[in-house]
Structure 1
């Protein structure tokens, strides 16, 4: 594919190549958009996730050499081979970041796009499985809708280069090198077409169709099923935080979740009445175990009216009074809603009469703005108007079709089953984007309804740009076994590296027992009565403390803390210990959440975020950073019991931990100081999840509280871990409402100067309603050597305070 001609336009470089056109468009100095078409002009389709006006007027240069054309901004250079149109991507210094094969790396293959035709005589088959209601239609015929293209974008990745991203999948793969991944939405697969490299760049593919990633015997490439042209963005960092910042610039900022969304969330499948919901909250308050939210899972509706967005009057006779009582108990309620409606309930009938249902006459058309608005109207009138606080948007990959049978289908078969089902009702070019539009409708409409309550949407699917709609993705209906827990760590890290900041899972897993269906493959028939499950649950909850959302949920067995023992027993006491730790870390966690919104930060961080220069971190998939300070090392093997309460003997209560190079580390529990760049065997008895703090860290620790909005007069502790200079921006606001968007928030910059043994608290910046006029701090210096810690108590009134030790 030869470059026949090139033309430098005002805002892009146009290449005529063989029978096609290529366009290179600088959006910023670090973000370059590349388009390729075989048509005479580019498609006019609008991006579903790129923000309007994200393209800036940007200077760029074009230079012609004997065998190449070089496009460059101040930070990125792209060298185009004249003979083959192969791209080589470089930084400003000319160092190669990645490249396409010399023969060229872009291929478009025409493909017919078929559209099913439904009419009034279409047969609808309604059914239900473990994943909820289903409705299938048989089209009377198919017609050719248009000609589109398969696209293939090839690379030659460097030796030692690690790749991350593409969303949360169930296999536990962290570094994508040497693997392949099928990118389609289904339960336990959440797709984000973003990939980040340790060589300092990212790739964002603007496509909504089925995709595949390959770095295997078949080649190294990204393939899309149905697109009008090839459309992607090359993003230069080189640091991961810079790549994420560019991604959010392009696709939208992540709004700040309310503070209570970072507290403990109690859920199970399922609480059936308002009395049960309230009694559980009261029991938490009685036992003085912190709690912020309880969840009402499916069947809030009456009888078999699946997807009806209202409360059953028999089980929830007065939902407004229920919400008032829950709020008096300083708790919140999340309610599950579904995109599928059948059985001729009021919501279903209204959607059908308006023509807002897809071809199966059950799922609403989230791609229609009018349908989204009606969906909100129903959700608001039936649920939100009573005072509920958060949404659980279940089954947002609505055409998953392989959750049946005793044997799990092969990966290629699952790909075909699920994508073919989705193509019956959605345009093949858009089957990955349903939850993006579903989340958009809820977010935009709730914000039009009220600004006093921040949107919280826990959803099972994801896509690029979904972060701007206050969506939290959870990993789906996973099973209770140690392998699954181990895999989840890498799955979450690959979601968050894409720029989607909020990811979580079912603590303890959804399926606990083992039944005849392939997915119901937990190892614990007796649930929380099994000491083996109690051990697994404790380890899962320890891990959950250091996730963006801290939520227990699942089927088969209760999940409340007292189901795992009583005070004085090791499982109960350890669960309570870690829930209380989450709340003591709330000033740290909420500050980091503030950075996510105001600075495009990432809370849950693969080690390459902070240690890209240490290649030993690239394949560490069971450790991660939580914010700037904590190295989290979940325990993912049994040490005490097998399934069936069978006691294990002689198992060391240790786990291997790699301490990244370039810094020192402190054992959070003992304050022992250790050098980085080594692997250690860390203590890991039941009460101890290995947890390390980076030297130079400033960690704010709050008092013991029962819910995130509880006010106390206790001082805020500041722990400083010596060894290098450090900074921390303490953030706070009202905790809810969108007033922070108007500037109603406050920050205090803290700086530690290690050589001078000096802490400086700068003047407080900003203010908000309810802000304390003065604060008391207890500052503790930790150096890993002194037998007694050095502590000072200081009062801060918002003006700079220098504390010398």
Structure 2
């Protein structure tokens, strides 16, 4: 039987060497710690950065259990086995552990390798340079535990989270997940339920999650103790706020990050990149950022040097200045791996700041992070670079070769064993978190006028606090891959890591039978396949086109338009709009239309980002978490909410062409859409209204992604611009979808810099009152340098009677607009 050992801010229970601690980190957040035959470790957390509050609670004892109750969460502790059950204050069960206890620790020895640093095998892989140490001694470092936490879930409950992976799962009930970092895995150990709770595992080792024939449990490879948090909330947003309370505030990205990002593998010269931006401007296709992928460094200088090649970028500062004059920013890829004896590698080796392979810097050491940042500052940031692409942040993988994809259990073993050669087994998931911390803190020390933006391939719980966006790795150009992206992005954002994106079109387009991961379905690709000139196709490739890929790319880009970052990238084929036909052709025009729509939505996007920063909400939202009472939403794979107002329904099947430009004459240009129960829905394109709780078939020609606005929502839009801050006083078009009360907080600030942290920003709070049929635009709250004192608004009401418009001038004072009221 468990007995109370200690009662203070934390309650400690013990039985025969087993110790169980319950403490409230906040009113709705309980921290659970379990250990055996030792004191609680209480080591600093990589994940949780916020100190627990002093929370009032009641402790009551009953015959078979204790009940610990705060104002936001109730925990039952069985006396017999220490099994925990979690309830809302109203008595509704969230989840429980099995009666036998559900918490297991198994003692194990943790080994580490001691390297003599005398030799390492250098190699070049498809995924960049690698280095593998050959001489080391293995020793026992310490005693730790394997851990297992068992769950009893409720019937009809749906689960989301754990990051993005390649399987394409939506609801994780009945599924398993292997939680280790790899090219197409971005791990976040946070599980979120439709019953209104999240479970955050404070652990950085290899883990697995199971809700299958093996049971319902979470297993961890190496822990000092079992340590996890239960976050309760009345809705999804409240769980998100709890997660951010523990893991830190998400800083606001620069406004331009929500524009279009043009990339490919790879641009080679400054001249080429300037031509691409200039051509976008000539064609009036918006663009805010262009990306310089790998090998920006001097030719033959070794991999990963953080400086510009003086031949291809003879005036790096002048190059970035010209981009800025065109209204574009520059993102540059940097790597944690340096080989070939480049200057950066030699410096880090000389200071003893490399891991055992002498090629990967030791991001777990503060002095190494500082040195790495200084290299990036000297070579790149000082020349005007605006953003970082921290590629290969796993940074160890060993299965990226061969014609046959290894089985999942073999891939787990191959990749985690490679990581454990150089990293502590208890830390192998955290490299990207520490790497991102170094970039963020380094740039914050250096510059306050530019917000940190770091696109990175791996993620971990808490990484959002370092200005990161994560993408889903080097995936293949297939319709099946596109279908899988959608639920994986929903799962990633369900964790509370806010910003996720994709390589629109898939990274690998060609098919190479000798490599299991290079399995695109479109070897024809686009015209200009290998052209060095950004504007004219190489004559030998002028016939190299595949309209099947053009269609796939167009649909993928339409999907990306409704993600936190809209970004095109990949290898094998060029990705500029003019590669997909000429203006007036269906694919070109569809691509241009979706990029322009993205820019019309900038006020909505930027306000959603502010809500993430100031209110801890989410941008990409699972339908099941938004409508938990509607069981029909729990297993939907290809629809999601984009903010509270819009439901996005990407097209994930070809309708026009198959591979090799084979026409698909019989395919209907429609797709089914399920409209969640509990709301009415407006078709964004024609204003038609539908009741929720039904499936409809909607038109989806190539220039249209099915898109619905929820009744009782406000959607601010603007006019198309060539970059996000081109016309600072551009008018706003405020769409009001009637049928229920609505609110929206329109956010404005300088668009970059950290003045917003000092209060240099403004909110314009809009409220639609359905009963009074009145929109109230409240008095502006706050101000900032350069703020527009006035702006033209066009209010567009959508309702059963159709569309009604009203124009006004907003000058910062409260305005009331009655539906049907005549304009003055």
- Among 607, 615, 622, the alignment partner of 1:591 is 607
Contact 1:671 1:784 in 2 (8 A): no
1:610 is displaced (CA, Å) by 2.0
User: Aligned residue for 1:326?
Assistant: 323
User: Aligned residue for 2:809?
Assistant: 795
Tell me the secondary structure at the aligned position of residue 670 of structure 1.
coil
Quick one: distance in 1 between partners of 2:234 and 2:412?
34
Give a deviation string over 1:759-796, Cα, whole Å, max 9, x none: 1111000001111111111111111433xx32111111
User: Aligned residue for 2:147?
Assistant: 151
1:174 is displaced (CA, Å) by 1.2
1:299 is the counterpart of 2:315: no
- Written as runs of structure 1 = structure 2, the 5 A alignment for 1:92-491 is 92-121=89-118, 123-304=119-300, 305-491=302-488
Q: Which moved more, 1:11-20 or 1:389-398?
A: 11-20
Cα-Cα RMSD: 1.0
Quick one: distance in 1 between partners of 2:334 and 2:442?
15
Runs (4+) off by over 4 Å: none
Quick one: distance in 2 between partners of 1:563 and 1:383?
30
Quick one: distance in 1 between partners of 2:705 and 2:481?
18
- Written as runs of structure 1 = structure 2, the 5 A alignment for 1:562-711 is 562-711=578-727
Quick one: distance in 1 between partners of 2:390 and 2:15?
45
1:714 is displaced (CA, Å) by 4.3
Quick one: distance in 2 between partners of 1:139 and 1:166?
36
1:238 is displaced (CA, Å) by 2.7
1:89 is displaced (CA, Å) by 1.1
1:65 is the counterpart of 2:56: no
User: Aligned residue for 2:516?
Assistant: 518
Quick one: distance in 1 between partners of 2:329 and 2:250?
22
Tell me the secondary structure at the aligned position of residue 428 of structure 1.
coil
Quick one: distance in 2 between partners of 1:674 and 1:94?
36
Distance 1:773 1:697, change over 3 A: same
Quick one: distance in 2 between partners of 1:382 and 1:605?
39
Contact 1:666 1:784 in 2 (8 A): no
Contact 2:577 2:592 in 1 (8 A): yes
Quick one: distance in 2 between partners of 1:351 and 1:204?
35
Could you list the runs of 5+ residues in structure 1 that have no partner in the other structure?
Answer: none
Q: Which moved more, 1:89-98 or 1:475-484?
A: 89-98
Q: Which moved more, 1:77-86 or 1:246-255?
A: 77-86
Distance 1:257 1:713, change over 3 A: closer
User: Aligned residue for 1:767?
Assistant: 783
1:713 is displaced (CA, Å) by 4.8
1:720 is displaced (CA, Å) by 1.0
1:8 is displaced (CA, Å) by 4.4
Quick one: distance in 2 between partners of 1:297 and 1:695?
43
Quick one: distance in 1 between partners of 2:68 and 2:517?
50
Give a deviation string over 1:211-270, Cα, whole Å, max 9, x none: 000011111000000011100001111311111100000000100000000000000000
Contact 1:666 1:692 in 2 (8 A): yes
Contact 2:117 2:358 in 1 (8 A): no
Give a deviation string over 1:666-713, Cα, whole Å, max 9, x none: 111111111111011111111111111111111111012110011155
Tell me the secondary structure at the aligned position of residue 527 of structure 1.
coil
1:139 is displaced (CA, Å) by 4.0
1:756 is displaced (CA, Å) by 2.1
Tell me the secondary structure at the aligned position of residue 597 of structure 1.
helix
1:32 is displaced (CA, Å) by 0.5
TM-score by length of 2: 0.96
Give a deviation string over 1:481-502, Cα, whole Å, max 9, x none: 0000000001101000000000
Contact 2:265 2:569 in 1 (8 A): yes
Contact 2:117 2:135 in 1 (8 A): no
Contact 2:96 2:153 in 1 (8 A): yes
Quick one: distance in 1 between partners of 2:38 and 2:433?
31
Contact 1:8 1:62 in 2 (8 A): no
Quick one: distance in 1 between partners of 2:380 and 2:606?
28
Contact 2:550 2:587 in 1 (8 A): yes
Q: Which moved more, 1:145-154 or 1:791-800?
A: 791-800
Tell me the secondary structure at the aligned position of residue 473 of structure 1.
strand
Tell me the secondary structure at the aligned position of residue 178 of structure 2.
strand
Quick one: distance in 2 between partners of 1:666 and 1:94?
37
User: Aligned residue for 1:724?
Assistant: 740
TM-score by length of 1: 0.98
Tell me the secondary structure at the aligned position of residue 289 of structure 1.
coil
Quick one: distance in 1 between partners of 2:586 and 2:38?
70
